A = this chain, B = another copy of it.
Amino acid sequence: MADKSPLAPEKFPDLPAIDGVRLAAGACGIRYKGRTDLLLVEMAPETTAAGVFTKSKTASAPVDWCRKALKGGQAQALVVNSGNANAFTGKAGDGSVERTVAAAADVIACRPSKVFVASTGVIGEMLPDEKLTEALPKLKDALDGKSWATAAEAIMTTDTFPKAATRTVDIDGTKVTINGIAKGSGMIAPDMATMLAFVFTDAAIPAPVLQDMLNTGADKSFNSITVDSDTSTSDTLMLFATGAAGNDMFASADAPALDEFRDQLDDLLIDLAQQVVRDGEGASKFISVTVSGAENNVAAKRIALSIANSPLVKTAIAGEDANWGRIVMAVGKAGEKADRDKLSITIGGHLIAEDGLARNDYDEAPVAEHMKGQEIDILADVGIADGRATVWTCDLTHGYITINADYRS
């Protein structure tokens, strides 16, 4: 495995148990030797579910299954394997999913339509599902409420650190918890950004409300990050609510009692999404790109992603070069309205160019200092209206080439 990313958080967070959620991880040798590669999560029978999936036209068999199963709005089991994505495996891939689901439904004693599955790893190879179906019954006895770190590790592929986050929230006087785990470090772009992320809460929330909140949250988090502009066939973000906290149920995501929950959910999703960027393949710098002054927020996001995805911007940052000309180029190619003669560029809080021109008194020294740091801030105001968006990405380094020119072989 590659060295731990220099941008990794200092430590794995302490995740409390969540009433109605038990986890177990195992090693079934799908691809990796000597590490865990299978996760089983059991959830209380009344658990509601929401999901957001890749928009790829060649989505994997597990994604197809989850979309179908989600119509019921209920979940009782989640099975995740790493090492093989079960993508581009045709009808046989569907068969692998069905056998895995059947085995999990047996172990958890629930209907197959309450089992969700996700797979991540190599595309185009058959999933050796018999390894999963043999391993699942053995995981049953290992299920407990504490194994969050083990769970986050079991779903890793080229990740250099496990990713998790936790928040506590008050819903109308009832304390509830939200825990999330995620994996992803390459093939990362909207939509969806992360390959896999699973969020659990003991709050009681009806499935349509949960889906509403997840859609909004995904937009601000996983759909606002990019590593390499490539979109996986397997991207999956799911949110499960066990209801064990016993709070009152609300029929709308706009219910004021859910305000804090929504805020904290968004915050947790952004936290997880940023961890994915911090583990971007070869990343040496974490980059925030904010675009203001755009025609509207959608235009602002499109321009921000144009900057964040530009190989020339990303390599300049890798070279610690405050090459704002490349930022101008990326604003221009986004195709959204921008006033060349009102454009301003700020890096690390230092205004470099305004009204379409480099500042006369521009002092490169403090900007050069900022470029040497690990956290780079870019702000571009395009001078049209009030649209604003922030996205996050990492730089493009020799490390990315090394990892990706030699992954499969």
Chain B CB within 8 A of A245 CB: no
Contact A408 B323 (CB under 8 A): yes
Contact A343 B123 (CB under 8 A): no
Residues of B within 8 A of A353 (CB): 88, 124
Shortest beta-carbon distance from A62 to chain B in Å: 13
Shortest beta-carbon distance from A76 to chain B in Å: 29
Question: How far is B310's CA from A309's CA once the two chains are assembled, in angstroms?
Answer: 11
Q: From residue 352 to 378 of chain A, which have CB atoms closer than 8 A to chain B?
A: 353, 355-358
Residue in B58, B189, B318 whose beta carbon sits within 8 Å of that of A338 in the complex: B58
Chain B CB within 8 A of A332 CB: yes
Contact B124 A343 (CB under 8 A): no
Question: How far is B404's CA from A315's CA once the two chains are assembled, in angstroms?
Answer: 6
Question: How far is B55's CA from A280's CA once the two chains are assembled, in angstroms?
Answer: 31
Residue in B333, B396, B405 whose beta carbon sits within 8 Å of that of A318 in the complex: B405
Contact A87 B57 (CB under 8 A): no
Residues of B within 8 A of A223 (CB): none
Residue in B88, B328, B329, B407 whose beta carbon sits within 8 Å of that of A356 in the complex: B88
Residue in B123, B228, B396 whose beta carbon sits within 8 Å of that of A325 in the complex: B123
Contact B404 A401 (CB under 8 A): no
Question: How far is B92's CA from A259's CA once the two chains are assembled, in angstroms?
Answer: 51
Q: Using an 8 Å CB-CB cutoff, how does the interface string of A212-252 with B read, 1 for contact, 0 for none? A: 00000000000000001111110000000000000000000
Q: Using an 8 Å CB-CB cutoff, how does the interface string of A173-197 with B read, 1 for contact, 0 for none? A: 0000000000000110100000000
Residue in B56, B85, B328, B401 whose beta carbon sits within 8 Å of that of A88 in the complex: B328
4 A-B pairs with least C-beta separation: A123-B325, A319-B405, A58-B332, A56-B332
Enumerate 9 A-B pairs (CB-CB under 8 Å) in ascending A order: A54-B332, A56-B333, A57-B340, A58-B328, A88-B357, A230-B311, A312-B404, A315-B404, A321-B405
A58-B332, A90-B340, A319-B404 given. 20 additional CB < 8 A pairs? A56-B333, A57-B331, A58-B338, A58-B340, A59-B340, A88-B356, A90-B355, A90-B357, A91-B341, A124-B324, A124-B358, A228-B311, A228-B312, A229-B229, A231-B333, A316-B404, A319-B407, A321-B408, A323-B407, A401-B401
